Chain A
Amino acid sequence: MDRFQLLKLENLNTSFKIMNSYYPAVDNITMDVFPNEVLAIVGESGCGKSALALSIMGLHNKERSLIKGHIYFQGTDLLSLSVSQLNKIRGKDIGMIFQDPLTALNPLMRVGQQIEESMNYHTSFSKKEKREKTLHLLEQVGIPDPRLTYNQFPHELSGGMRQRVVIAIAIACEPALVIADEPTTALDVTIQAQIMELLKTLQKKSNTGIILITHDLGVVSEMADRVAVMYAGQIVELSAVEQLFNNPLHPYTRSLLNSIPSSSSDDDRLHVIQGIVPSLQNIPRSGCRFSPRIPWIDASHHEDHPVMHEVESNHWVRCSCYKHFYFPNEKVGEK
């Protein structure tokens, strides 16, 4: 791909301070996001997806976290900027959609004001222009009565409506990149579909790059162009969405795919790796952090320092896992 990257993460490392030591929750991540693409990040709870998103937005508490590496956004390293320099980019060129619409809005501020707020700092719109733009945004995100909602407080809206408002806030200044951190987890299923549909429509219309963080592989297959699978702070597989679904390689990816309820046969469900993502302090820091979850694989297959390999064009997998891996109740060599 020779397109100019919108976002380029280089050896990004985000550590949190716990009892005076720093533990990386994002461990040496290198990846790109291109304009007009949807990059999905999937992985179990606690694998560092939000930590990654908040690092890009510069939203981590500086006293309790340490960020190393580079985050190039349209060529500028965001990590080299001061907060006030970053504030010229946040909200204008990068927008963020948060997970929980119930808590993401200020309870004391009218919806209209909350959407207009970013225009106060990033545009020279007059009061009237801001209001018009806001009403237009509310309409765009599917609020039935924009004029009414403009003057409402968040508590007067349903969860789905609030998430639409959160989206309106994120896209208010027409950013080039939108980061959506599990934008539908807090909503019920029918609303989830509507919100995803909305995101897709907006993305198509304005050629925005989207980082879509999600648990839901159904959503990934619908929305994403490329997928990064994360485990314990690292990417274990990165590829175009068709390749990932047709030819998943890393055992963790295969396990995730087999755990989709709708598409799994009974046979597939047996082929799900048990266990959970270890907590920050307990992630093995030397050797492979995934090997403890597949103890039946012969120790000789593991590498000391597993790195990413490009196994086919634009399909990267960590280590040589995929060559030797089998599920416990799978016949050896079945794959």
Chain B
Amino acid sequence: MLKFLLRRILIMIPQLFILSVLIFTLAKAMPGDALSGQLENAHADPKVIAEQRQKLGLDDPIQVQYIRWINHAIHGDLGMSYTHKIPVTDLIGERLWNTLLLAAATLIVSYAIAIPFGVASGRWTNSWLDKWVTCYTYFTYATPLFIFAILMMFLFSFELNLFPSGGSVDPQAVPGTLNYFISKFTHLVLPTLSGALLATSTTIQFLRNEVIDTKIQDFVATARSKGVPESKVYSRHILRNSFLPIAAFLGYDITGLIGGSVFVESIYSYPGLGQLFLDSIQQRDFTVVSALVMISGFAALLGTLLSDIILSAVDPRIRID
């Protein structure tokens, strides 16, 4: 196990290197640069522009720029945000926690809904429940996230006034108090539900198919031939086998949510990485964009590793050593 981890982490180094080169090249190939994003006036004095470029090192040879960037990154310095004028690490810090919180909440809620419905739907195929669940999954599958999120916001925030429509916490609340905690929670409800409800559709369908495939396997007939009660046939035999592929996806899911809640965050103006990503692209704040892409790339690599570890933990046929 330890050897496996070590090997996998070593493999990640060249992967990260390739990723960093790619990101760097892409950032450079984008029309405009940090400077043009910063300029308010398109007709600024060319002399001033040249001076600024010199200062920012934008005229240096490309490989020099790359090495400078990567060297700083390794030392935890992701550069200065051109627009916010603060270190990128500071900018990301607080937001990373917000995003992680939202991601964890979304993951938990979506699985808490998807698992019972997916299982029931696969167990009692063609029942009324199954038909309603299938209907629900088609509906949520076809609904675009941004429309759904706006609808949720309109209904539960503006109309019913149950939850706040934006931000991650009430600015008045003092950190550490119960009020702060409650405020964090109420701010989390709508973004979480918007993401989670739509995310359930694929998990439900996937789990339903897994259960349908598993319940006709020979070993299930063996279990029944032993006189195992039907509820135990499900809990001990069918479900454990149907959850395997879901467990394998969990790692990827976590990554996807960290990089991915761009829509939800920007609709609810939730200060997380997704929102920061969109803003930074609009402002051509490429130090921030590069850092964010690098982080989500890193998260993706961690996700695959996590998936492999989970799978080897739940499936005795897969041994890692």
Binding site for B on A (CB under 8 A): 54, 57-59, 63, 83-84, 86-92, 95-96, 98, 100, 103-109, 114, 117-118, 121-122, 153, 155, 166, 169-170, 172
Query: What residues of chain B lie closer than 8 Å to A91, measured between beta carbons?
Result: 225-228
B229/A84 in contact, CB under 8 A = yes
A18 to chain B, nearest CB (A): 16
- In the complex formed, the residue of A with least CB distance to B316 is A153
Whole-angstrom CA separation of A121 from B236 in the bound complex: 14
B229/A105 in contact, CB under 8 A = no
A100 to chain B, nearest CB (A): 6
Binary A-proximity of B309-321 (CB < 8 A = 1, otherwise 0): 0000011110000
B226/A90 in contact, CB under 8 A = yes
Query: What residues of chain A lie closer than 8 Å to B226, measured between beta carbons?
Result: 90-91, 117-118, 121, 169, 172
- In the complex formed, the residue of B with least CB distance to A86 is B227
- Please pick, from A86, A108, A153, A169, the residue contacting B240 in the complex, using a CB distance under 8 A: A108
> Taking the complex as formed, is B222 at the interface, i.e. its CB lies under 8 A from any CB of chain A?
yes
B122 to chain A, nearest CB (A): 14
Q: Is the interface of B mostly helix, strand, loop or mixed?
A: helix
List the one stretch of B4-12, B147-155, B213-221, B282-290 in contact with chain A: B213-221
Whole-angstrom CA separation of A117 from B244 in the bound complex: 22
- Please pick, from B219, B227, B236, B316, the residue contacting A122 in the complex, using a CB distance under 8 A: B227
B317/A104 in contact, CB under 8 A = no
Binary A-proximity of B184-217 (CB < 8 A = 1, otherwise 0): 0000000000000000000000000000000001
Query: What residues of chain B lie closer than 8 Å to A89, measured between beta carbons?
Result: 227
A107/B221 in contact, CB under 8 A = no
A106/B219 in contact, CB under 8 A = yes
Q: List 22 A-B contacts (CB under 8 A).
A: A54-B221, A57-B225, A59-B224, A86-B227, A87-B228, A89-B227, A90-B225, A96-B222, A98-B225, A103-B219, A106-B219, A106-B223, A107-B219, A108-B241, A108-B244, A109-B237, A114-B222, A117-B226, A118-B227, A121-B226, A121-B227, A172-B226
Give the A-B pair count, Cβ closer than 8 A.
Answer: 83
Whole-angstrom CA separation of A76 from B219 in the bound complex: 27
Whole-angstrom CA separation of A122 from B314 in the bound complex: 29
Q: A87-B227, A118-B226 are in contact. List 10 more A-B contacts (CB 8 A).
A: A95-B225, A104-B218, A104-B222, A105-B219, A106-B237, A107-B315, A117-B228, A118-B227, A121-B226, A169-B226
Please count how many residues in chain B sit with their CB below 8 Å of the partner chain's CB atoms: 23
A62 to chain B, nearest CB (A): 12
Query: What residues of chain A lie closer than 8 Å to B317, measured between beta carbons?
Result: 107, 153, 155
Whole-angstrom CA separation of A122 from B227 in the bound complex: 8
A98 and B222 in contact, given A88-B227, A90-B227, A107-B316 (Cβ under 8 angstroms): yes
B247 to chain A, nearest CB (A): 11
> Taking the complex as formed, is B230 at the interface, i.e. its CB lies under 8 A from any CB of chain A?
yes
Whole-angstrom CA separation of A103 from B222 in the bound complex: 10
Whole-angstrom CA separation of A54 from B225 in the bound complex: 9
Query: What residues of chain B lie closer than 8 Å to A96, measured between beta carbons?
Result: 221-222, 225
Query: What residues of chain B lie closer than 8 Å to A117, measured between beta carbons?
Result: 223, 226, 228, 236
4 nearest A-B residue pairs (beta carbon):
A91-B227, A91-B226, A118-B226, A103-B218
Query: What residues of chain A lie closer than 8 Å to B219, measured between beta carbons?
Result: 103-107
A130 to chain B, nearest CB (A): 13
Query: What residues of chain A lie closer than 8 Å to B221, measured between beta carbons?
Result: 54, 59, 96, 98, 104
Whole-angstrom CA separation of A121 from B228 in the bound complex: 7
- In the complex formed, the residue of A with least CB distance to B229 is A87
Whole-angstrom CA separation of A90 from B226 in the bound complex: 6
Whole-angstrom CA separation of A69 from B92 in the bound complex: 73
Whole-angstrom CA separation of A118 from B236 in the bound complex: 13
Binary A-proximity of B115-126 (CB < 8 A = 1, otherwise 0): 000000000001
